[in-house]
Amino acid sequence: MRMFDQIDHIGIAVEDLEKSLDQWRKMFNLRLHGIEEIKERGVKLAHLEVSEGPQVELISPLDKNSPVHKFLQKRGEGLHHVCFEVEDIHKALSTFQNKGVESIQDKPQKGAQGSLISFIHPRYFNGVLIELKQKKKES
Ligand code: ZN
């Protein structure tokens, strides 16, 4: 199996989650998979299911300390990140590190739905922030 098999979701930074959610759902007829607050990262997320391919993740800041708040100030609403699903996030990160590509945080962090995630700085990928995600293991 290759390491980066699929794009899990596209993250879009928004000012007003409820309002944006309405528009995205209505126009694309998407099913809301869930809304989740991740206090550690200062974000509120909404996952919208597309019948095939990557999901759409709308992200809004919980407060002014949120990195997403800073992103919105600097760049405005829009594409925030692209997320690749990986089998083993530690292995994926060491593969990146061996090629001189560093993640933003030292260690993987808690992501949505019990996943483990890590972000790679946009400077390595043409200005696009990359998220790596290891799904919660079923046990
Ligand atoms: Zn994401």
77-116 tens-digit pLDDT: 999 999 999 999 999 999 999 999 999 988 999 888 889 9
Count of other CB atoms within 10 angstroms of residue 43: 24
CATH 3.10.180.10 at 6-134, yes or no: yes
CA of 111 to the centre of ligand 1 (A): 8
C-alpha dihedral sign at 117, 66, 20, 127: negative
- Run of H or E including 83: strand 78-85
- Band of residue 1 on the pLDDT scale cut at 50, 70, 90: low
CA of 104 to the centre of ligand 1 (A): 14
Residues paired with residue 22 on neighbouring β-strands, in sequence order: none
The pTM (predicted TM-score) of the whole model is 0.91
CA of 1 to the centre of ligand 1 (A): 23
At residue 47, the pLDDT reads 95
- Band of residue 8 on the pLDDT scale cut at 50, 70, 90: very high
CA of 26 to the centre of ligand 1 (A): 21
* Helix, coil or strand: residue 38: strand
CA of 93 to the centre of ligand 1 (A): 16
Contacts with 112 (C-beta within 8 Å, 6 or more apart), sequence order: 36, 38, 45, 47, 57
CA of 113 to the centre of ligand 1 (A): 11
- Band of residue 5 on the pLDDT scale cut at 50, 70, 90: confident
**pLDDT(36) > 60:** yes
85: exposed, middle or buried (Cβ count in 10 Å: 0-12, 13-18, 19+) = buried
d(CA 113, CA 54): 16
CA of 11 to the centre of ligand 1 (A): 5
